[in-house]
Structure formats: C-alpha cells, structure tokens
Amino acid sequence: MNEMRYIITKYKDGVLSFALDTKDSKMESVVFTHSNENISDAKIGDIFVAKVKNVAKQINAAFIDYTPNQKGYLPINTEYVPIITNRQYDGRILPGDEILVQLEKEAVRTKEPVFTVNLSLAGKYSVVSYANTYKGVSRKCTKLEREQLRTAIPQEINYGVVIRTNAVSLLHTSDADDTKGKLSFHLCNTSRTEVMANISPSTMSSAKTESIEALQPIRDEIKYLNDKMSSLIHDGIHRTCYSQIWKAAPSYLTTMRDEGIMYQQIITDDAQIYGEIKDFAALYMPEQIANISLYQDDSYPLHKLYRVETQLDELLAKKVWLKSGAYLVIEKTEAMYVIDVNSGKNIAKKANTEYIYQINMEAANEIMRQIRLRNLTGMILVDFINMDDVEKDNALLQELRVLAKKDHILTTIVDITALGLVEITRKKTTKSLAEQLYH
C-alpha cells in the first residue's frame, strides 16, 4: 500500500485538503476550498443555464451572465454544437440566447471566469463530454496502454469519451498480471505474428478474459456518466435561465479521486465531511472505503497533529532551502513567476562543475514540487546556476520534462532562452494556493 495519507480538515473559512507522505511528513498536494455557498462563487465543473449578453465576433467569443449580474467569458468553438434552450440552434450564438455552459476556468484577478459549451462529467477512470465526440485514451498513456484501454469504451455511448491515466492501474491489478506483462513485453520487442505463434490459445484466451474483467470498472463508469449526461441535458433544456443544473463535487473530494493513489488512510475531523467522503468513495473509490476514518481527539486538533500552519508557511515563503544547503527564491511579478537557484552555503564547491550540476538537478525536483503545491500557473522563468555545458543543460531540461509529465495540470518545459533562463508554462485553471487562502 502507498505510504500516503489524505487529510481533510476545516481551516479558517473553508476546508484544507492535502496528501501527506508519511515517510518524510511532507505535503505532496494541497487544496483550499472556501465554504461560501453563494451561487456566484461557481466551482470548476458547475453547469448553468446562462444568458448571452453580447457576442464579439472579432475575438470569436461571447459574454454571458451565468447568474444575475455575474459575468463570464465564453469562447465560441464552431466545431461544438451548443445547447440553446429558448430557440432552435441555427449555427449562430446570439445575444439573448439561453445556453447551457460549464465553468472551465475560475476568475483570476481581473479576468472573468471562462465557460465552455462542451459539457463534461469526470469520473475516476474516464471523462464523458457532450460537444466533443472524440472517443479515445489520454495521450499520457503509452501506445500499448492506449491500445488496451481503448477496448473498454462501450460501443453504445452517445457522447465523447476520454479514458484517463488513472485507468492504467487496472491493467496491473488482475490475476493475469504476469501473463499480460509478458505479452506487453513481447508486443514491444517482437512482431505480433511471432507473439501469436509462440503463445498457446489457452493462454491468450485466459489473458483476454482477465483483461476484460479488469477493465469492467471503466465500462461501468462510462455507462453511468453517459446516462447522467443524458439526464442533465434533458433537465437543462426545461429549466429557467440562471438555473444551476449541476453542482460539481468540491475540490477536496475530486483531488482525492484524481490523484489515483491507494491511500494508507483518509482522515477528516468533521462529521459532515466524513459522510461526504464515504458517499463519494462509494461511487468512485469503493476499494478505499475501509481506509476512511473520523478523527475525534478534541485535546489535540488534526491541523496541529500534521503541522498544517508550519507547512503552509513554508509553502508560501519566498525562500526555500534545499538539503544541499542551496536555496530557491520564488517571486511573483505582474506577468509571471520568477524562480532563482542559489548555491547557498557551500562556497568552497562553487567552482566544481559536477557539484553545480547536482545542485541544479536537486533544485529541478524541488521547483517542480513547489510549482505543483503552490499551484503556480502561466509563465514561469527559472534561473538555474550557469553550467557552461550544453550536455548538462540538455540533461537538466530532460529531467524537468520527466517531472512535468507527473503533473495533472498541463505543464510544458519550453526551452532555455538566450539569456540562459528556463521557460516553463503551466495551464491556468484555478487560483494559486496563496490566492485560495488569502483572497
């Protein structure tokens, strides 16, 4: 079992959730969710019957009110057919249209929240979408994994489907792991004809049966989400303007699911949240229900037990120390984030090229962790210690790209600029941790 715990606790005016590695007692993910139930504070995934206020053809977008006097931005994708509830769609989105939209990006500073007409419902293993009818598997999966997982998509589904990377775990959980592992190895290293010639029909039949059974949770989830989508659309076209027809699960639950981790324990100190976790796990994580517990020691609060304030202070600090004695300086400007790597205390070794390389590699790992935990998005420039070695620069970029693939949010390591700065971009979807906590 993984040595990770998932903690959910009431904190300030909301709920703080984080994954904790019990080996070093460090947070590996953290999210803060405000408790404000005001409908204007929409969450990513919420679906509304909105009213189109204005259409800006020059930027191919519309401006909408998703609730009275709460504005949003709606990019217009001509490949998507929107659901308009007060007239027949004729290929145009017009002012006055009442339209089903889903929140895709939260409002960030001066920017309005971004919506889409491509309604989608996410599960642990899959995402079903209304307007994008593509059926396939996440590109983060290997070619062989995509081939195996694609067989789990039912033929009778009405909407688009993408199987998520979490589903890969099901390829390794059946009793036929050894057989399938051998098949996978052979498929990668020999021709398909040679494999078929050397594996007996009974072995192939057994492996196929095991594979079908292992992927059944994906099929069941897709069918459930397909039916739920049909129900939501049917309900939405009969609802009045500004109605909220789907309320997404809070982020402290969806993050728990989407991490794809078999937690050692899932702990909360709130009875209501405990009930929410149990209900949510029954639907998406039944294998983890036995690991859920309610913390009830009033003499020593849960947030003190896990040093929540101390860890958050470290996460929001400008300076981050590394084990080697080097440190990072993380600063925010108006347009981007800037991270500087400093060699720190070990002055005697500063002229050692190999030492500088090791410092940069250590810094790369901590930088990607800090970006993920602080939820830094947009453009990020990193000033590593200059190595004057093209081969080592390339190795550093490769390490960063490997680490970026582990991030659930799209993160791109662009290149090293002419000034020697590493340019990173990370997709904006939600506010940074600092904005979540203090804005």
Positions of CATH 3.40.630 in the chain: 317-438
> pLDDT tier at 173 (50, 70, 90 boundaries)?
low
What pLDDT, on the 0 to 100 scale, is given for residue 182? 39
Range of lowest pLDDT (142-156, 180-194, 271-285): 180-194
Q: Is the pTM of this model over 0.95?
A: no
Query: What is the per-residue pLDDT across 108-131, written as a single tens digit (0 to 9) for each?
Result: 777 899 999 999 999 999 999 999
Residue 222 has pLDDT above 70, yes or no: yes
Cβ(46)–Cβ(72) below 8 Å: no
Q: Mean pLDDT across the stretch 67-74?
A: 93
Sign of CA dihedral 196, 199, 202, 205: negative
> pLDDT tier at 439 (50, 70, 90 boundaries)?
low
Locus of tokens 């059946």: 174
For the chain, report the end-to-end CA distance as a whole number of angstroms. 37
CATH number of 4-39+248-305: 3.30.420.140
Q: Mean pLDDT across the stretch 81-93?
A: 94
Positions of CATH 2.40.50.140 in the chain: 47-118
Higher-scoring residue by pLDDT: 412, 439 = 412
Highest mean pLDDT among 22-31, 257-266, 367-376: 367-376
Q: Which H or E element spans position 5?
A: strand 4-11
Q: Which residues contact 276 (CB under 8 A, 6 or more apart)?
A: 250, 253
> pLDDT tier at 95 (50, 70, 90 boundaries)?
very high
Q: Mean pLDDT across the stretch 340-349?
A: 73
Residue 146 has pLDDT above 70, yes or no: yes
Strands 114-116 and 160-163: unpaired
Instruction: Indicate the SS3 state at residue 280.
Output: helix
Cα–Cα distance for residue pair 318/333, rounded to 1 Å: 13
What pLDDT, on the 0 to 100 scale, is given for residue 197? 55
20 DSSP β-pair partners: 5, 27
What pLDDT, on the 0 to 100 scale, is given for residue 355? 87
Residue 36 has pLDDT above 50, yes or no: yes
What pLDDT, on the 0 to 100 scale, is given for residue 418? 84
- Mean pLDDT, the chain, rounded, equals 87
Per-position DSSP letters for 306-329, written without gaps between them: TTHHHHHHHHH-SEEE-TTS-EEE
CATH number of 47-118: 2.40.50.140
Edge-to-edge strand ranges of the sheet holding 422-426: 319-321, 327-332, 337-342, 378-383, 422-426, 411-416
What pLDDT, on the 0 to 100 scale, is given for residue 343? 85
Q: Mean pLDDT across the stretch 81-104?
A: 95
Residue 17 has pLDDT above 70, yes or no: yes
Query: What is the per-residue pLDDT across 234-247, written as a single tens digit (0 to 9) for each?
Result: 999 999 999 999 99
> pLDDT tier at 187 (50, 70, 90 boundaries)?
very low
Residue 188 has pLDDT above 50, yes or no: no
3.40.50, 2.20.25, 3.30.420, 3.40.630: CATH of 317-438: 3.40.630
Cα–Cα distance for residue pair 302/412, rounded to 1 Å: 36
Cβ(166)–Cβ(258) below 8 Å: yes
Residue 428 has pLDDT above 90, yes or no: no
> pLDDT tier at 189 (50, 70, 90 boundaries)?
very low
Positions of CATH 3.30.420.140 in the chain: 4-39+248-305
